[in-house]
Amino acid sequence: MQIVRAHSGDGEILKVLSIHKGPMSAYDILGELRHKGAGAIKAPTQVYRALERLMKDGEVHRVAALNAFVRCSCIHSGSAAGFIVCTDCGTVKEFDAKVATLPRAAPKGFAVEPANYEISGTCQDCQKRASK
């Protein structure tokens, strides 16, 4: 029988991401955990290993445009997480990409699955601020 055990650090990381909301870099997470002390996680490797597991489980997503990670807000269905990212202020909104038609716009004969959707740019607020 396969016993399902919690892996080291996964819980800690999930908690930090939940509290913080918004995206955090692996080193942000590490910093938080070290700051608190007590935990098992002390090195980047451990953070990345835990994040990898959590991503596989769909608990966490990577936001490539920010080199950061977010707690899944579970709006999406199945394996189609979508993000709108402001690369200026770092704000991220998650949405369900299942309803997107982007794949149809893509060239024939090249499809990815599972897919992660990311739209990055500068949000309206940051644009206003910049143009002042």
Which residues lie near a second copy (CB under 8 A)? 64-65, 82, 84-86, 91, 93, 95-97, 99-103, 105-107, 110-124, 127
Cβ 80 vs Cβ 97: under 8 Å:
yes
48 binds, among DNA, a second copy, none (CB under 5 to 8 A by kind): DNA
Two tokens, residue 41? 């996680």
Taking the least distance from each CB to a second copy, the nearer of 54 and 85 is: 85
In the complex, least distance from residue 18 CB atom to DNA, rounded to whole angstroms: 19
- Which neighbouring-strand residues pair with 60? 71
| Candidate residues 40, 99, 102, 106; the one interacting with DNA per rule CB under 7 A | 40
Radius of gyration of the chain (CA): 17
**Type of residue found at 1:** M
Cβ 25 vs Cβ 17: under 8 Å:
no
Residues in contact with DNA by the rule CB under 7 A: 3, 7-9, 25-28, 40-46, 48-49, 67-68
